[in-house]
């Protein structure tokens, strides 16, 4: 398949990111199913396509996204047209329903991905997985941690614009124009946490997470330090970023995997891509010069076509 080239009239990572965020996308007819989690909570799965399809594409979404995000609908549409079944498991709190436990989700939530993917594998003989942004990092981390055992669960995988060095992502997301992306995410994250504080006041008080503190947050790193880290067992944002990063697990991936990251992604410095080092032959690094963050606009829906092209390889 041809390499990605950005339209000449849409220069720069920010414009290429925003163009895809605000572009139209087809509607997808989903059916929702609720799964109980091992710790007594729940997640919601949105399904699309025929139940007797031979191949299943499981997609992990990005930060504060869901099955109605443009990237999900574009990939789902092409997958359905190609005879696949599509499923999106929502990270906790992202399906529109408040969860029953205090915990939420985070960039390194590979333990959650493990039981989810194994449950899909129990009902489908040919599971393929794609993760975008945060979901891409989660998927890559799981693939590396599981190593050879992942081959029995997932046939092929794709990670799109994964911030696989979460420390690098955390350091750049609060500066320059990225500050405004952070405000956009906080607009969704803040009310969820305030609701959780009312729902579990003693639990959050013990962690030092207070409503005034949440209201005062201005950046994602501040959110990670005050909320994400203590809520999920990390000592602070630096500990969380370090332990959540998939970059240290890439050499252990055994499933055929494609990483697609634009070199002008506003959320991940290009230096992270150039210094990634050697990876196994089954891991393909595809780093176009242009594309933005989960963008890759124009060019006849290049991104979903590239994803399905890789996942549909012979014997996949």
pLDDT digits (tens, 9 = 90+) for 288-297: 999 999 999 9
Quick one: average pLDDT of 206-217?
Answer: 98
Encode pLDDT of 76-130 as tens digits: 999 999 999 999 999 999 999 999 999 999 999 999 999 999 999 999 989 999 9
The residue among 226, 244, 262 that closes a domain is 244
132 and 254 share one domain:
yes
59 and 140 share one domain:
yes
2 and 107 share one domain:
yes
pLDDT, averaged across the chain:
96
SS3 letters for the chain?
A: CCCCCCCCCCCCHHHHHHHHHHCCCCCCCCEEEEEECCCCCEEEEEEECCCCCCCEEEEECCCCCCCCCHHHHHHHHHHHHCCCEEEEECCCCCCCCCCCCCCCCCCCCHHHHHHHHHHHHHHCCCEEEEEECHHHHHHHHHHHHHHHHHHHCCCCEEEECCCCCHHHHHHHCCCCCHHHHHHHHHHHHHHHHHHHHHHCHHHHHHHCCCHHHHHCCCCHHHHHHHHHHHHCCCCCHHHHHHHHCCHHHHHHCCCCEEEECCCCCCCCCHHHHHCCCCCCCCEEEECCCCCCCCCCCCCCCHHHHHHHHHHCCCCC
- The pLDDT assigned to 316 comes to 63
278 and 253 share one domain:
yes
The residue among 210, 244, 278 that closes a domain is 244
296 and 199 share one domain:
no
- The pLDDT assigned to 22 comes to 81
299 and 197 share one domain:
no
Encode pLDDT of 116-159 as tens digits: 999 999 999 899 999 999 999 999 999 999 999 999 999 999 99
What pLDDT band is residue 205 in, cutting at 50, 70 and 90?
A: very high
Cite the active site residues.
Answer: 133, 265, 293
Q: Which structural domain range is residue 205 located in?
A: 166-244
Quick one: average pLDDT of 158-172?
Answer: 97
- The pLDDT assigned to 212 comes to 98
Spatial distance between the Cα atoms of 244 and 140, rounded to a whole number of angstroms: 11
Quick one: average pLDDT of 185-197?
Answer: 97
272 and 136 share one domain:
yes
94 and 207 share one domain:
no
CATH number of the domain enclosing 250: 3.40.50.1820
Q: What total of structural domains would you count in the chain?
A: 2
The residue among 244, 261, 278 that closes a domain is 244
Confirm whether pTM is higher than 0.85.
Answer: yes
∠ Cα 61 146 90 (to 5°): 20
Residue 208 pLDDT > 90: yes
Encode pLDDT of 8-67 as tens digits: 999 999 999 998 888 888 999 999 999 999 999 999 999 999 999 999 999 999 999 999
269 and 147 share one domain:
yes
- The pLDDT assigned to 283 comes to 98
13 and 127 share one domain:
yes
45 and 120 share one domain:
yes
217 and 259 share one domain:
no
Quick one: average pLDDT of 194-203?
Answer: 97
């Amino acid at each position: 398949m041809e390499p990605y080239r950005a339209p000449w009239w849409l220069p720069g990572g920010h414009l290429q990111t925003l163009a895809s965020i605000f572009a139209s996308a087809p509607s997808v007819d989903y059916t929702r199913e609720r799964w109980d989690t091992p710790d007594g909570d729940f997640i919601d799965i949105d399904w699309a396509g025929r139940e007797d399809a031979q191949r299943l594409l499981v997609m992990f979404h990005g930060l504060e996204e869901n099955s109605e995000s443009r990237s999900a609908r574009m990939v789902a549409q092409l997958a359905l047209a190609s005879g696949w079944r599509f499923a999106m498991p929502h990270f906790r709190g992202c399906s529109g329903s408040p969860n029953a436990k205090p915990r939420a989700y985070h960039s390194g939530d590979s333990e959650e991905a493990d039981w989810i993917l194994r449950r899909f594998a129990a009902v489908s003989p040919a599971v393929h997985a794609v993760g975008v942004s945060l979901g891409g990092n989660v998927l890559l981390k799981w693939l590396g941690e599981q190593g050879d055992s992942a081959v029995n669960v997932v046939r092929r995988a794709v990670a799109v614009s994964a911030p696989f060095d979460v420390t690098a992502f955390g350091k750049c997301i609060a500066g320059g124009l990225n500050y405004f992306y952070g405000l956009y995410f906080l607009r969704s994250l803040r009310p969820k946490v305030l609701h959780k504080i009312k729902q579990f006041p003693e639990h959050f008080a013990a962690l030092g997470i207070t409503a005034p503190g949440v209201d005062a947050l201005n950046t994602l790193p501040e959110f990670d330090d005050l909320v994400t880290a203590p809520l999920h067992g990390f000592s602070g944002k630096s500990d969380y970023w370090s332990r959540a990063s998939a970059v240290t697990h890439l050499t252990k991936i055994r499933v055929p995997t494609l990483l697609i990251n634009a070199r002008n992604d506003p959320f991940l410095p290009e230096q992270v891509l150039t210094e990634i080092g050697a990876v196994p032959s089954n891991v393909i690094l595809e780093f176009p010069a242009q594309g933005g963050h989960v963008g890759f606009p124009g060019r006849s829906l290049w991104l979903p076509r590239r994803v399905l092209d890789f996942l549909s390889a012979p014997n996949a």
